[in-house]
Amino acid sequence: MQQKTTGAWYSVEYWKFQIGDEATDKYRLDVDGYSGDAPDGLQYDSGLSQHDGMMFSAYDNDNDFESAGANCADSLKGGWWFNVQYSADLELPVLHRCA
């Protein structure tokens, strides 16, 4: 990935990157391992920003863990393996409010 402000390139490699099926697993993300010079945005922490193990959410398919009922994919205008209130992406450490 390329950082917008500096133009510098960074990379990340996972030794496991697996997506579950739609019918029974809602495209659940399973990543393991990490190496590279970009932040590990998918396994950022073990709490609210953890994407590993999450199901995929879209604007019309709320599979996140946000308990108040908000749909992270709808409020943030994009599909992702959202967790609870905050969400990291591959360009971490930017954190987004979900609801």
Which positions touch Ca ion (CB under 5 A)?
30, 32, 52, 62, 64, 66
Between residues 25 and 62, which has the closer beta carbon with respect to Ca ion?
62
DSSP secondary structure of 42-88: TSS-SSTT--TTPPPBBTTB--S--TTS--HHHHTTS-B---SSEE-
Q: Which is nearer to Ca ion, 6 or 19 (CB)?
A: 19
Q: Which is nearer to Ca ion, 8 or 53 (CB)?
A: 53
CB closest to Ca ion, residue no: 66
Tally of CB atoms within 10 A around 52? 19
Q: Which two tokens stand for residue 32?
A: 């393991």
The minimum distance between CB 32 and Ca ion, in angstroms, equals 5
Alpha-carbon separation of residue 33 from 7, 65, 82 (angstroms):
27, 24, 20
Closest CB 94 distance from Ca ion, rounded Å: 21
Shortest approach of Ca ion to residue 37 CB, angstroms? Answer: 21
